[in-house]
C-alpha cells in the first residue's frame, strides 16, 4: 500500500475512486502512527485500493486517527497503451 499526503500522484491515473477510508487507534503510544497507517492500509486494501491519497492524522487524548481517500491507481502510460 502506498500512502501520499498530496491529493494526486504524478505519473498515475485514478482507475477508481473508492472513497474515504479511516482508521482509529486507541491507547496511542510511540508506534501509533505506524500502527494506524497499517490499519488504514488494511481497510483500503479491503476496499480494493492500492493507494491512499490526502493522508492526514488527528490525535486527541489517547487516540490517533488517520484518514484519506482510497484509490486504485494505474501508471499513466498503461491507460494510453504505451
pTM for the structure as a whole: 0.85
Angle at 19 between CA 18 and CA 21, to 5 degrees: 110
User: Does residue 30 or residue 82 have the better pLDDT?
Assistant: 30
Domains and CATH numbers, the chain: 2-79 (3.30.110.70)
CA–CA separation, 21 vs 57, rounded Å? 12
pLDDT at residue 28 in the model: 75
pLDDT score recorded for residue 2: 92
What is the rounded CA–CA span in Å between residue 55 and residue 73? 15
28-73 pLDDT, tens digit per residue, is 777 788 899 999 999 999 999 999 999 999 988 889 999 999 999 9
* Bridge partners, 24 (sequence order): 65
Cα separation of 13 and 31, whole Å?
32
Amino acid at each position: 500500500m502506498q500512502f501520499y499526503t498530496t491529493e494526486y500522484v504524478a505519473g498515475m491515473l485514478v482507475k477508481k475512486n473508492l472513497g474515504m477510508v479511516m482508521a482509529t487507534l486507541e491507547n496511542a503510544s510511540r508506534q501509533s502512527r505506524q500502527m494506524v497507517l497499517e490499519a488504514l492500509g488494511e481497510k483500503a486494501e479491503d476496499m480494493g485500493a492500492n493507494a491512499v491519497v490526502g493522508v492526514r492524522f488527528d490525535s486527541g487524548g489517547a487516540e490517533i486517527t488517520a484518514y484519506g481517500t482510497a484509490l486504485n491507481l494505474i501508471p499513466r502510460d498503461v491507460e494510453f497503451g504505451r
